[in-house]
Structure 1
Amino acid sequence: MTRIPSPPGSNNTRYAEMKSFGYDDEILTDFFGNGMSIQENKSYQFGPFSIDTQERQLMRSGTALPLPPQAVDTLLALIASAGRTLTYHKLGKLLWPDTHVEVENALAKNIAQLRKALGSENGEYIKTIHKLGYKFIAPVIEIREDLASRGSLAVLPLANHSHPDQAFFADGMTEELISHLMKIEALRVCPRTSVMAYKDVSNKPLREIAQDLKVGWVVEGSVLHASNRIRITVRVFEGATEKKVWAETYEKDVQDVLALQSEVASAIAREIRVKVTPNEAVSLAKSRAVVPEAYTAYLRGRYFWNKRTPEDLKRGAEYFRQTIDQDPTYAPAHAGLADTYVLLGTNGYDGMPPSEAMPLAKAAAKRALEIDDALAEAHTSIGYVKLAYDWDWDGAEKEFGRSIELNPAYATAYLWRGHHLMALGRLEEAAQEMQRALELEPLSIPCNLAVGWCFYYARQYDRAIQHYQRVLEMTPNLPLVLYEFGLAFLNKGLPQQALAEFQKADTSSGGAAVAIMLLGHAHARLGQKAEAYEQLARLDQKSKQTYVSAIYKAFIYAGLDEKDKAFEWFEKAYAERPTYLIYLNVEPSMDNLRSDPRYRDLLERVGLV
């Protein structure tokens, strides 16, 4: 590593000297470490470029760009104070502290080399401040060390140029294009959950969207689906400059839609000059003809699955089954059906008894893998069933690991592996997995919730509350968030605040069974027995109309400290195998039962101790 020369004497002297020139602590921290070296743990991204202060190598979409050391020093100085003017005097003292040079001429040479490397002779990145110095004007993002050499891209929701009732088709094509691009390891691609926030947003500059999503490239375009033909138009822009670098239109029969998606993804990768390995090229090129009606049904299934309400999940399952009926060897439809059954059988959704949903999920995922063993989503679904229903801890870990090996960008695999670790009480490891999932899908509600769960199960209630408050800013009054928000208040010793959140959840969920359970549990903890029994009666009434998990009554009786009744219902829950049983070893709300031998016996039978 090239080091900035330091004068004899202590670094503190030089630090103080630099501070006297007007550098603030943040900039100095970026530049000074022991021995006056540039810090070795910083990575930055701007537009399609990235630079790592350890390797000191400017990259463009995974390709190294040669620069002399002094030009690199100049670039790092400008990046560290992006948006602020660095005078000739400041830059001279930083770059040549012990050498007499003609600073303005030397800087002009470095800036010319940088602008040539950046392809921005007109100053899109580095602006000359007349008679004063230079300013780096493009948005700069500090990024994870392991992503520093990767290009980054966001595919904005493709506009629907067909009939309005074909909006699902445009959304599906957006998701499929994202999935294809995610196969390229050298390219970081924003997930669907992040980009869909920009659907129908036409008044926000691309530069700001790129900055929000922390990407160097932005793709936008449109889809026209008419009769049995599909036309896709795509345009690629540099995020920092909004410069259009490429545009093309593609058209094929619907039966060749997979080949169309592969062709578009490969063309985008080629135009932004991202490195594609031979294996990735083969994977991108792999396609097959589809049955048009079946593929349309598949996209409808994904559309309803993404809504994630019990009713929409059931509609999604119907469309996946239609796809399978018309095209039995289309593996993603089997994987989609598995994903749907997994959620329908999960506490909080409660669309089906787990004893019905989970075997169906496993069967669908297995069929998907018989067709395509490299389908990461199917491995993840089987892993979840092994975790939450079979209680096969080793088997679940194996499936999650295989999924991540196949698709390191699949956030759900990290998320559910985090739940696996959390259930086993390995909370620090779980938090790392949840954080990785959140980095991949920062706007995903399940990923955001999971980070809060790690705080909650670690009994860091203040941190959990703060985290859930931020999530509620994203999705006000979402029941799934209100449930966890209330539990954090309850176990912090603030039952009235918890009750208020559970009442909101009860209203916004339309009286979901889990909301009724939490209301009953909170009333019980407050000593309000009559109100707790009212919620038990509501569960009885609801169970006449739809599936209600036995574990919900167990929780209310536990809150009432009626232990015999609680264990009676836990035994019924054990027979059902609801997903929430796997968290009993870390659930703070059950602390009053822990000293009872029956509780340990239950944990042992689930495999938790």
Structure 2
Amino acid sequence: MSKPDRTMYHFNPFRLDAGRRLLMRGNEVVSIPPKAIEMLLLLVRHPGEVLDKESLMKGLWPDTIVEETNLTVIISALRKALEETRTEHRYIVTIPGHGYCFVAEVSEAGEGAGARPLNGQSEQLSVKSIAVLPFKPLGGEEKDGYLGLGMADALITKLGNFRQIIVRPTNAVVRYAGLGHDLSTVGRELDVEALIDGRIQRTDDRVRVTVQLIWVENGAPFWSEKFDERFTNIFDLQDTISEAVARALMLKMTGEEKKQVAKRYTDNLEAWQLYLKGRHFWNQRTAQGYRRAIECFEQATGIDPGYALAYAGLADSYQLLGGADGTVAPKEVFPKAKAAAVRALEIDCTLAEAHTSLARVSITYDRDWPAAERGFKQAIELNPNYTLAHMWYANYLAATGRFDDANTEISLAIKLEPLSVMFGVDAGMIFYFARQYDRAIEQIKTALELDQNFWPGHWYLGWVYEAKGMYPETLSEFERAALLSGNYADLAAEIGHVYALAGRKGEAWKVIENLMIRSKQSYVSPFALALIYMGLGDRDRAFSWLQKGSEDHCWQMSFLKIDPRFDSLRTDPRFAGLLQRINHTL
């Protein structure tokens, strides 16, 4: 005679007695139909596995042919017994077109044995890519302007630690803040299999959140849960949600991943809110935005001196204020950027953002190219989903003439953030430096379809037209970029450079005169003036201003080795000397 089954399955707050076919909640027996008990046993014996409908029907009705609707009725009764609504899915997830999956953590205990966790062995609920959308206000109006995006950013950071899944970065989803987006369309635009869609409401000192996982293929939810917490415990809430989502996705965590998911960069609510505001201003990508971001990040680090992410944000803001923005002398702000990045790494050496910031400073300010490459590689190893690391590493590879590697790296950034006009334009810039001009034009034009007002795209497109001798088209793109950028000084110089190449020397000299007047009120890059003199054929003055550009650590000097505009100077011995000063060689 076979021994009776005395196995007990535990899934909080329930216990399922396999031998007696009883479902218990605490000391109370839960009323449940016999077939629902059998169904529950099949599910809990295979947690985390997708059990197809045909197998379930054979298991419940082995010698009878039944309609699939009978299965639906049993699942409905089971959810009712577990006090789970059809859209909650704390225990049972419907996999459209396949079957069902039990997603709660289950442990098994036999007679005289302690509980042990169960691990599924067959088909897993497999989501390879996901995007976390900015949480939307439940009432339709968000009083805390950064709370919804902040919750999404926290989940993105935590889920980004899992190597089994690609998580779209915050920059990729910020455009979807607000109501009115069709989720399936959003998912297809972001090229992901699933979405995390959340609703959030703050009432006095409490925060209520509803989170659901959505299949992009058909727009159907396959898990959802509600959370309620004090606002002062917002970080506990973020931990709880991220752990619940990880369980629903059946992500298997290594010890290190568990540690990273539980990691908090700050426990200070005010510092966190200031960080969110700082990133909001940083993402505006304007001089004023960088200055406001710096104010927010400095306030955040003042409140919490151990807030490494805020120091990384500070480093990014300083270097862009003195880099591509060009409104402040790089030598004035890059030491501050370096100090902030170093401080971030002193606090947390595993922070990919800080390694990336310091690597970029190593190129532009320290001119330490090997250190920069080590920094970018370390950042990508720590967080393969960090898109800025891929983009800036691609720029580094292009600057050193490794164009195939640069194309690979920028392609990774685009794969992670497919709607980024910035990454698409950067891919075109790499083709330009590689002297693949037709591919560069095609790539930049394609990227600009995402945002025709992205002024760097028109700037770089002008470079390509100039290389092809298409001066009217070059001027048109530079003039549009200048208008969109608010008359950025470097673009005025680009226009002067083209005037000189096109034989309009009087107009070129007028641009120089205006820039010299402008330099008395605000910073004008020496590199910009060198461009015009080079177009005029005045090599001595061109080299003199390039020398000053080197001393000022102008960001364009990093690309001197491969920039086609300087081909006419390469045979001059002074050009090799310039490359040596920035630790480059021909």
TM-score band, normalised by shorter chain: 0.7 to 0.9
Q: TM-score, normalised by structure 1?
A: 0.74
Partner Cα separation in structure 2 for residue 311 and residue 532 of structure 1: 29
Aligned partner of residue 222 in structure 1, secondary structure: strand
Aligned partner of residue 277 in structure 2, secondary structure: helix
Mapping 1:462-477, distance limit 5 Å: 462-477=438-453
Instruction: Note the C-alpha offset of 1:123.
Output: 10
Instruction: Note the C-alpha offset of 1:229.
Output: 4.1
Instruction: Note the C-alpha offset of 1:201.
Output: 5.0
Q: Is the CA contact (8 Å cut-off) linking 1:171 and 1:303 kept in structure 2?
A: no
Q: Work out which of the residue numbers 530, 533, 536 in structure 1 matches 2:509.
A: 533
**Amino acid in structure 1 at the alignment position of 2:491:** A
Partner Cα separation in structure 1 for residue 385 and residue 317 of structure 2: 21
Aligned partner of residue 452 in structure 2, secondary structure: coil
CA deviation map 1:400-444 (0-9, x unaligned)? 111111111111112111111111111111111111111112222
Q: Is the CA contact (8 Å cut-off) linking 1:160 and 1:166 kept in structure 2?
A: no
1:555 partnered with 2:531: yes
2:163 alignment partner in structure 1: 185
Mapping 1:136-535, distance limit 5 Å: 151-161=128-138, 164=142, 166-204=144-182, 206-226=183-203, 228-287=205-264, 290-346=267-323, 348-535=324-511
1:607 partnered with 2:574: no
Instruction: Note the C-alpha offset of 1:292.
Output: 2.2
**Amino acid in structure 1 at the alignment position of 2:133:** L
CA deviation map 1:128-180 (0-9, x unaligned)? xxxxxxxxxxxxxxxxxxxx976221112211358655222322222222121
Instruction: Note the C-alpha offset of 1:554.
Output: 0.6
**Amino acid in structure 2 at the alignment position of 1:555:** L
Change (3 A) 1:246 1:121: closer
Q: Which runs of 5+ in 1 are unaligned?
A: 1-62, 68-116, 125-147
Aligned partner of residue 305 in structure 2, secondary structure: coil
Change (3 A) 1:264 1:482: same
Partner Cα separation in structure 2 for residue 118 and residue 161 of structure 1: 25
Partner Cα separation in structure 2 for residue 243 and residue 574 of structure 1: 57
**Amino acid in structure 2 at the alignment position of 1:543:** S
Change (3 A) 1:342 1:519: same
Instruction: Note the C-alpha offset of 1:228.
Output: 4.9
Aligned partner of residue 251 in structure 1, secondary structure: strand
Change (3 A) 1:121 1:477: closer
Change (3 A) 1:172 1:122: closer
Instruction: Note the C-alpha offset of 1:329.
Output: 1.0
CA deviation map 1:181-236 (0-9, x unaligned)? 111111111222332333335252x2333223222211111233455544332121
Instruction: Note the C-alpha offset of 1:277.
Output: 2.4
**Amino acid in structure 2 at the alignment position of 1:299:** L
Q: Is the CA contact (8 Å cut-off) linking 1:160 and 1:222 kept in structure 2?
A: yes
Q: Is the CA contact (8 Å cut-off) linking 2:266 and 2:304 kept in structure 1?
A: no
Partner Cα separation in structure 1 for residue 165 and residue 414 of structure 2: 18
Partner Cα separation in structure 2 for residue 338 and residue 231 of structure 1: 34
Mapping 1:70-89, distance limit 5 Å: none
Partner Cα separation in structure 2 for residue 541 and residue 123 of structure 1: 72
Aligned partner of residue 145 in structure 2, secondary structure: helix
**Amino acid in structure 2 at the alignment position of 1:591:** D
**Amino acid in structure 1 at the alignment position of 2:399:** A
Aligned partner of residue 548 in structure 1, secondary structure: coil
Residues 380-389 or 415-424, more deviating: 415-424
Change (3 A) 1:122 1:339: closer
1:597 partnered with 2:584: no
Partner Cα separation in structure 1 for residue 204 and residue 96 of structure 2: 44
Partner Cα separation in structure 2 for residue 561 and residue 121 of structure 1: 70
1:84 alignment partner in structure 2: none
Structure with max Cα Rg: 2
Partner Cα separation in structure 1 for residue 450 and residue 408 of structure 2: 22
Aligned partner of residue 307 in structure 1, secondary structure: coil
Aligned partner of residue 537 in structure 1, secondary structure: helix
Q: Is the CA contact (8 Å cut-off) linking 1:257 and 1:290 kept in structure 2?
A: no
Change (3 A) 1:277 1:553: same
Percent of aligned pairs sharing the same letter:
37
Instruction: Note the C-alpha offset of 1:445.
Output: 3.0
Aligned partner of residue 396 in structure 2, secondary structure: helix
Q: Is the CA contact (8 Å cut-off) linking 1:452 and 1:464 kept in structure 2?
A: yes
Partner Cα separation in structure 1 for residue 98 and residue 583 of structure 2: 65
Partner Cα separation in structure 1 for residue 126 and residue 534 of structure 2: 52
Partner Cα separation in structure 1 for residue 493 and residue 551 of structure 2: 19
Q: Which runs of 5+ in 2 are unaligned?
A: 1-47, 53-92, 101-124
Q: TM-score, normalised by structure 2?
A: 0.77
Instruction: Note the C-alpha offset of 1:494.
Output: 0.5
Residues 332-341 or 530-539, more deviating: 530-539
Partner Cα separation in structure 1 for residue 49 and residue 456 of structure 2: 45
Partner Cα separation in structure 2 for residue 522 and residue 226 of structure 1: 59
Partner Cα separation in structure 1 for residue 138 and residue 402 of structure 2: 49
Q: Is the CA contact (8 Å cut-off) linking 1:376 and 1:406 kept in structure 2?
A: yes
Partner Cα separation in structure 2 for residue 361 and residue 255 of structure 1: 32
Aligned partner of residue 474 in structure 1, secondary structure: coil
Aligned partner of residue 166 in structure 1, secondary structure: coil
**Amino acid in structure 2 at the alignment position of 1:410:** Y
Instruction: Note the C-alpha offset of 1:272.
Output: 2.2
Q: Is the CA contact (8 Å cut-off) linking 1:172 and 1:303 kept in structure 2?
A: no
Partner Cα separation in structure 2 for residue 166 and residue 560 of structure 1: 55
Change (3 A) 1:482 1:594: same
Partner Cα separation in structure 2 for residue 584 and residue 324 of structure 1: 36
Instruction: Note the C-alpha offset of 1:472.
Output: 1.4
Aligned partner of residue 246 in structure 1, secondary structure: strand
**RMSD over aligned Cα, in angstroms?**
2.6
Number of equivalences: 476
Instruction: Note the C-alpha offset of 1:564.
Output: 0.8
Partner Cα separation in structure 1 for residue 448 and residue 266 of structure 2: 43
Q: Is the CA contact (8 Å cut-off) linking 1:256 and 1:290 kept in structure 2?
A: no
CA deviation map 1:2-60 (0-9, x unaligned)? xxxxxxxxxxxxxxxxxxxxxxxxxxxxxxxxxxxxxxxxxxxxxxxxxxxxxxxxxxx
Partner Cα separation in structure 1 for residue 404 and residue 204 of structure 2: 53
Q: Is the CA contact (8 Å cut-off) linking 2:168 and 2:385 kept in structure 1?
A: no
CA deviation map 1:573-599 (0-9, x unaligned)? 111111110101111111111121111
Instruction: Note the C-alpha offset of 1:248.
Output: 2.1
**Amino acid in structure 2 at the alignment position of 1:302:** R
Partner Cα separation in structure 2 for residue 193 and residue 289 of structure 1: 21
2:551 alignment partner in structure 1: 575
Change (3 A) 1:288 1:600: closer
Aligned partner of residue 335 in structure 1, secondary structure: helix
Q: Is the CA contact (8 Å cut-off) linking 1:149 and 1:186 kept in structure 2?
A: no
Q: Is the CA contact (8 Å cut-off) linking 1:353 and 1:576 kept in structure 2?
A: yes
